[in-house]
Amino acid sequence: MKVTIIGAGNMGRAIGARTVAGGNDVEVIDRDPVEARGLADELQSAAQDGATVTAGELGGPIAGDIVVLALYYPSTIEAIEQNRDQLAGKVVVEISNPIDFETMDGFVVAPDSSGAEEAARSLPPGTPVVKAFNTTFARVLDAAEVAGQQPDVLIAGDDASAKQKVSSLVEAGGLRPIDVGPLRRARQLEQLMFLQVTLQEPMGTAGGSHFKFLP
């Protein structure tokens, strides 16, 4: 499977690492082409099972069947606007948490929406959007474990086939996918991560904590 990751920051690096660990090919795109090439080289050195990593151009052709928007909100919407036509027919993975970081007391999207739903409205009709990775810190993804436990990746979406593709990608990378339901469940996933973000300082966990679902 070919996966395009838009965004060469911490989350792009961590998701890319899990993707190549699962033997999948990766294309890295970033507004800074130097950053994109640097991350592509880094990921290639860790690739497994013949996986290849390349750097693409923002606004150019998108090679991946799955496109991960590894960006902060509202940069996700900006990236969609820049690549709207190229995203048609792809499975788009939206990972943001649209927190109001100025007040740290809410979100910058309406209460009856989410970053994922806003992304879906901005994409060409019929383009499936899957919410994933937003409840997992980059540090946890990098290690693929926390406190000896396999991290869970909570997934929401309205297209069953798209969710299955993302679940397979997650599982191949050594993580456990959990389907939480339709795309509107992204609202609760973003609230869950908001709680986790606010707990980092008082708990002193520095992005190393994780919500784990146990039987």
Distance CA(29)–CA(27), nearest Å, equals 7
pLDDT of residue 48: 87
pLDDT of residue 203: 95
Mean per-residue pLDDT over the chain, rounded: 96
- Tell me whether strands 25-29 and 129-131 are parallel, antiparallel or unpaired: unpaired
Q: Are 13 and 138 in contact (CB under 8 A)?
A: yes
pLDDT of residue 58: 87
What confidence tens digit (pLDDT) does each residue in 70-84 have?
999 999 999 999 999
The pLDDT tens digits along the chain (215 residues) read 999 999 999 999 999 999 999 999 999 999 999 999 999 999 999 898 999 999 998 889 999 999 999 999 999 999 999 999 999 999 999 999 999 999 999 999 999 999 999 999 999 999 999 999 999 999 999 999 999 999 999 999 999 999 999 999 999 999 999 999 999 999 999 999 999 999 999 999 999 999 999 98
| DSSP three-state, residue 141 | helix
What confidence tens digit (pLDDT) does each residue in 153-174 have?
999 999 999 999 999 999 999 9
pLDDT of residue 59: 86
Q: pTM for the whole thing?
A: 0.97
* Residue whose pair of structure tokens reads 């740290």 in the numeric block: 104
The tokens for 161 are 């086939």
Distance CA(129)–CA(26), nearest Å, equals 19
Residue 151 CB contacts under 8 Å (≥ 6 apart), including other chains: 136, 140, 141, 144, 145, 175, 176, 210, 212
pLDDT of residue 90: 98
pLDDT of residue 139: 96
Distance CA(7)–CA(195), nearest Å, equals 24
Return the closest-CA partner of residue 163 out of 95, 93, 84: 93
Domains and CATH numbers, the chain: 2-203 (3.40.50.720)
